Amino acid sequence: MFPIQDSAPRRRTPIATYLLIGINVVVFLLEVILPPHILQAIVYYFGVVPVRYTYPSVAKHFVPGLKYLDFITCMFLHGGWMHLFGNMWTLWIFGDNVEDRMGSIRFLFFYLTCGIIASLFHIYMHPRSFVPIIGASGAISGVLGAYYVLFPLSRIIVMVPILFFPFFFEMLAVFYLAWWFIIQLLSGTFSIVHQQIAGGVAWWAHVGGFLAGIFLHRFFCIGSENKSYKDESTPWGVIPLIHERSNR
């Protein structure tokens, strides 16, 4: 199931969300023009490699000044167009509402905090891995965790391809995000059983980021308006909602 859009309203321009998307896109465009061997080195040094932190003898093979900085830099590197698009689209759908509730500065720190925790969770689950993890999905998983708590009754339009034909369905955010989390958890368990990162995806980073978002979002909402967003719209289909979103 691929999310198309949500019904939760927002009151302010999501500056931090736009900024994060812009930085990720610019960095990826720079990646595209780099020679393959240089790009590989950048991914290796600026991505998070678990053994770098679990086996001190391995750390000497990395640039000393980059230790711990990779917890931040890894969030802005992506492995391909679909990797970038999937992450940025998800941030676009869910990030604006969470930012609206927290405020732009707090949301930015929340995003980075969840990304760091996601990487730590992955290291804990795959301490012997030499595979660098890159991408914004750990931080975005934290955004999803916050959305799960803050906007559980928001309605999500999802697209499900069946025999090459797209079908659109409406469901509550609480069910969509619970389904998403279960998929990450099961896939992560599969990766542990088979002692490898299944499908090249850091599933446990997603799990860790989501849980971080659930438990930490309240600290970033302190002082903000606690009034719940009321969705006064009547039941809609796909076309009315898409029209509503395009006018934002």
* pLDDT tens profile 46-74: 999 898 888 877 766 665 556 789 999 99
Q: Strands across the sheet with 155-162, in order?
A: 2-6, 155-162, 165-172
How crowded is the C-beta side of 110, counted as CA atoms within 13 Å? 34
Complete DSSP assignment for 177-238: HHHHHHHHHHHHHHHHHTTS-GGG--HHHHHHHHHHHHHHHHHHSTTS--PPPP--PPP--H
**DSSP class of 133:** B
Instruction: Quote the number of domains for the chain.
Output: 1
**DSSP class of 127:** T
Q: pLDDT tens digits for 174-206?
A: 999 999 999 999 988 877 766 655 556 888 999
- Please report, for the domain that includes residue 126, its CATH number: 1.20.1540.10
Q: What is the dihedral of CA 54, 59, 61, 64, to 10 degrees?
A: 140
**DSSP class of 77:** -
Name the amino acid, one letter, at 173.
Answer: A
pLDDT at 60: 64
- Domain, as residue range, for 106: 2-246
- The model's confidence at residue 83, banded by pLDDT at 50, 70 and 90, is very high
**DSSP class of 165:** E
pLDDT at 59: 65
Rounded to two decimals, the pTM is 0.86
Say whether 46 sits in a helix, a strand or coil.
helix
In the block, tokens 């009151």 appear at 11
- CB atoms under 10 Å from CB of 218, counted, come to 11
**DSSP class of 6:** E
Calculate helix-pair angle for 104-125, 203-220, nearest 10 degrees: 140
pLDDT at 63: 59
Say whether 39 sits in a helix, a strand or coil.
helix
Q: Which two tokens stand for residue 140?
A: 């975005």
Residues β-bridged to residue 6: 156
